[in-house]
A = this chain, B = another copy of it.
Amino acid sequence: MDEAAQSGRRGRASVRAARIQDVAKLAEVSTATVSRALATPERVSAEARARVMEAIAKTGYVPNPAARTLRSQKTYMVLVVLPDLANTFFSKILRGIEETLFEAGYGMIIGDLDGSPEKEAHFAAYTAAGRVDGAILLHGHLFGQSRGGEGAPDRIGIPLVALCEAIPGADIPQIEIDNRAAASRMTRHLASLGHRSIAYVSGPAGNILELERFLGYRDGLEAAGLSFDPALVIPGDYTIESGVAAGQNLVARASRPTAVFCTSDEMAIGLMRTLFSAGLKVPDDISVAGFDDIEFAAVAEPALTTIHQPRRELGQAAATALVALLQGRPTPKRIRLDTELVIRDSVAALCPMS
């Protein structure tokens, strides 16, 4: 029961007073290096710093916190704020961010807003308290601002980078795709296969991605010589559930569009499920297109035609920009990565006989 004794009682591990010498010995460095790693970490190699930090964790050494705080506020940790972690779209983005940060000697922690402003206050306070060195924002606004950009942003004294959801007017590096061009391209693709009645399942109202993709849908219709019909716009919020609901909306209609452009893959997968349950076939009866190219898109039945976002590269680009800021180097203000139209099995040419 040595192990249980060591891990302590009631989940609280027991702490004996470890000394700086214990840390130095375990990390195979001098005590001076341990002090430097805590006080002026930029003067120690990333490799030695990692060994010291690991030895600190192993020994349970607690440096004099007041002394340490006065000397250095560096945490070597970056906060990534997501609008909704449940969307699988984010997993590869996070991987791209994490691997780039890790290489530069930083860890990543994730905060999930799940749409709730009170939760944002929690992360804003944590950030303002200096518990991270920088933050990457994927939720489309600065701390303290509304989605529409109203209100003065919180004065957070650390570097920030915006990713995916652009923040109009914010003077920070912003990394994104061209959502408008991508949505236009998908709409033109559907039109090029003979579809004249193309429905659009939207993202959440007021969301910048939704705004851009909707403009792209209209661009695409116009380029194909099709007129815009508001009755073909079905509200969604990027979730599977809203795709299921959009499918019910379609099934209930007397006259149905021949193609549906869902602005997320999750919605497309939920929508197809509802169509199948109603006895409709994809793509024979109705073509369905997605957006994002999440892992499930390729293995859906039928496999989903969609817009591929370079998710890992988006994450890497955001982390690269943030690391540059953290190290005092210049970085471009706006980076746009390319998307691809991925043609699979869920979209077919409209047969003139049907």
**Contact residues in B for A153 (Cβ distance below 8 Å):** 3, 6-7, 13
Please name the residue on chain B nearest to A243 by beta carbon. B299
Q: In the complex, A67→B65 CA distance in Å?
A: 10
Which of A89-97, A179-187, A219-227 forms contacts with chain B? A89-97
**Interface contact A12-B112, CB-CB below 8 Å:** no
Which of A157-165, A194-202, A204-212, A252-260 forms contacts with chain B? A157-165
**Contact residues in B for A142 (Cβ distance below 8 Å):** 7
Q: In the complex, A159→B94 CA distance in Å?
A: 27
Which of A28-36, A68-76, A230-238 forms contacts with chain B? A68-76
Q: With A4-B170, A10-B325, A155-B14 known to touch, is A126 a contact of B75 (CB < 8 Å)?
A: yes
**Contact residues in B for A110 (Cβ distance below 8 Å):** 85, 109-112
Q: In the complex, A160→B12 CA distance in Å?
A: 7
**Interface contact B8-A171, CB-CB below 8 Å:** yes
Q: In the complex, A348→B26 CA distance in Å?
A: 58
Please name the residue on chain B nearest to A330 by beta carbon. B10
Q: With A3-B153, A11-B160, A295-B240 known to touch, is A107 a contact of B91 (CB < 8 Å)?
A: no
**Interface contact A155-B102, CB-CB below 8 Å:** no
**Interface contact A70-B65, CB-CB below 8 Å:** yes
A310 at the interface (CB under 8 A from B): no
Q: How many residues of A contact B (CB 8 A)?
A: 103
Q: In the complex, A110→B85 CA distance in Å?
A: 10
**Contact residues in B for A144 (Cβ distance below 8 Å):** 57-58
A77 at the interface (CB under 8 A from B): yes
**Interface contact A12-B157, CB-CB below 8 Å:** yes
Q: With A77-B131, A159-B11 known to touch, is A169 a contact of B107 (CB < 8 Å)?
A: no
CB distance from A106 to the nearest CB of B (A): 8
A19 at the interface (CB under 8 A from B): no
Q: In the complex, A86→B99 CA distance in Å?
A: 14
- Proximity bits, A44-74, B CB within 8 Å = 1, else 0: 0000001001101111111001110110010
**Contact residues in B for A12 (Cβ distance below 8 Å):** 157-160, 325
A169 contact from B3, B126, B269, B295, Cβ within 8 A: B3
**Interface contact A171-B9, CB-CB below 8 Å:** yes
A128 at the interface (CB under 8 A from B): yes
A42 at the interface (CB under 8 A from B): no
**Interface contact B79-A170, CB-CB below 8 Å:** no
**Interface contact A69-B65, CB-CB below 8 Å:** yes
**Which of A10, A143, A172, A303 counts the most B-chain CB atoms under 10 A from its CB?**
A10
**Interface contact A7-B171, CB-CB below 8 Å:** yes
In the complex, 6 of the A-B residue pairs with CB atoms within 8 angstroms, ordered by the A residue number, are: A9-B171, A12-B157, A57-B121, A57-B143, A59-B155, A102-B118
Could you list which residues of chain A lie within 8 angstroms of chain B, going by C-beta atoms?
1, 3-16, 18, 50, 53-54, 56-62, 65-67, 69-70, 73, 75-77, 79, 85-86, 88, 91-92, 94-95, 98, 102, 107-112, 114, 118-119, 121-131, 142-144, 149, 152-161, 169-173, 240, 244, 269-270, 272-273, 276, 295-296, 298-301, 303, 321-322, 325, 330-331
Would you list the 10 A-B pairs with minimal beta carbon distance, nearest first? Answer: A60-B155, A53-B125, A57-B124, A107-B122, A273-B299, A11-B172, A86-B91, A110-B110, A4-B171, A54-B121
